[in-house]
Amino acid sequence: MARKKTSKKKSAKFDQDRADRNKRIAIVSVVVVLGAGAFVGGAMGIGELDQRAADFVVPTNAQVLIDWPTDAVGSIWMPITDRDTIERLLSRAVQGGRGLTQAPLKEAALALKNTGWIEGTPTARWTSDGEIEIDALWRVPVAAVRVGEREIIIDRDRNALPLDYALGESNQLFFINVDARQPAIGEQWLGTDLQDGLALLELLEEQGLLEQVAGFDLGKDAESGTIRLISTRGTKIIWGAGPGRERPGEVPIGQKIDRLKAFYEHTGLIDGGFEYLDIRGSIMEKLRAEG
């Protein structure tokens, strides 16, 4: 008996069924593979996967790019010796780190933060050239606190900076008789006396009266908290309590400022040429005593 021939229509239908079946198998396979990958990632932990990925990144000694602090005219004010120290520190921090990974970035940012020069935490990122670029908010020197035979540099927030000099060598306005102990580098100097002293420094700066001021005596023992301006001639001008903390009998801040300006306008000297000056209250008796 002759075999019946299969029609072309049935053959076409068979081919379509097989194609659909193969497609379903392929889709299921992809889902299984992806599911297995997610399971492995969950079991190993993302950190371990990152570490394994990092194993394929070549160790490198990346160059660290630092945006140094500048003054109003764009000049870098930080001493070159201190910049060299920071550059060496950061270079050691990233040495041997794997390129384009997070570890060298964290090490560089932490190393810069620990210098005491930085406010908050710096941010670091890789550049397209494989270098590390750091952005940071630098603390700016504003004065010095005399401790023993040294002058410790501080910023406006009373943070001790990693700079100190022999007496008279810092080229900064200085504070003497600060109550609190010297803090660690990068830490804040405690005490309201220094806080008040810096507030007065800022006030005199705003009024253009700092040119003939060498420093500030914050007082000690019973006189602690009574601020004396030390003129460049060595005269002590008794200011009184810090701005906003005026005591009974003290004239307002505005009157104290007006008196200093009047002395300067009439004599060319902020201290009026006197060896002793008290501008807290009525100064006429003091002036007559000196006359």
Q: pLDDT digit of tens for each residue in the chain (291 aa)?
A: 344 444 444 444 445 555 454 444 343 333 333 333 333 333 334 456 455 444 445 566 789 999 999 988 999 999 999 999 999 999 999 988 777 789 999 999 999 999 999 999 999 999 988 899 999 999 999 999 999 999 999 999 999 999 999 999 999 999 999 999 999 999 999 999 999 999 999 999 999 999 999 999 999 988 888 999 999 999 999 999 999 888 888 999 999 999 999 999 999 999 999 999 999 986 544 554 455
Phi, psi of 85 (to 5 degrees): -60, -45
Q: Report DSSP state, residue 69.
A: -
Domain 143-290, CATH: 3.40.50
b/e 236-252 (16+ beta carbons within 10 angstroms → b):
bbbbbebbeeeeeebbe
- Give the predicted TM-score (pTM) of the model: 0.75
Kindly report, as residue ranges, where domains of CATH 3.10.20 are found in the chain. Answer: 64-138
Torsion 239-241-244-247 (CA) sign = negative
Query: Which DSSP state fits 98?
Result: B
CB 154 within 8 A of CB 189: yes
Length of the chain, in residues: 291
Q: What is the CATH number of domain 64-138?
A: 3.10.20
Where does CATH 3.40.50 sit in the chain? 143-290
